[in-house]
Amino acid sequence: MKRKPEGIVLWHIDGFHTFKAFDVFIRKGLVRKYKKKFDWLYDVDCMFAEVFQELFKDYIYIGSEDDLHAWPINYKFPKTFKTILFTFVPSDTPKTEKERTMVKEKIKDEMKEVIKI
């Protein structure tokens, strides 16, 4: 049986429609283990993080970052983490329930290989 990753890094578009933003989620019970390692992340109102958290309740959102801020150079995520590039680009920052539902379905689709849904 495939073991769930200890963490998920969800790359997605930022406000400029580039793929430079990401959110980090840690599996419940492991947050303490990684909290200091990711103290450079910030908390942001991110629809992608919100939708991911709704779908995967056994993971805790711990922060976000983008390439517009300084973050550790040559940083590598732990090998126990899975990095996902969320390739769906909504027409604009999803504000309607229809667009939010589309994002939810796309995240589910891209995550099905990582976590059994």
CB 55 within 8 A of CB 40: no
Read off the pLDDT band of 73 (50, 70, 90).
low
* pLDDT, mean of residues 42-55: 87
* pLDDT, mean of residues 67-74: 60
Q: What residue has token string 């997605």?
A: 12
pLDDT on residue 23 = 93
> How many CB atoms are closer than 10 A to CB 42?
10
Q: How far apart are CA 17 and CA 9, in angstroms?
A: 18
CB 9 within 8 A of CB 49: no
DSSP 66-83: ETTS---TT----TTEEE
Q: The whole model's pTM is what? A: 0.81
pLDDT on residue 92 = 58
pLDDT on residue 20 = 79
Read off the pLDDT band of 72 (50, 70, 90).
low
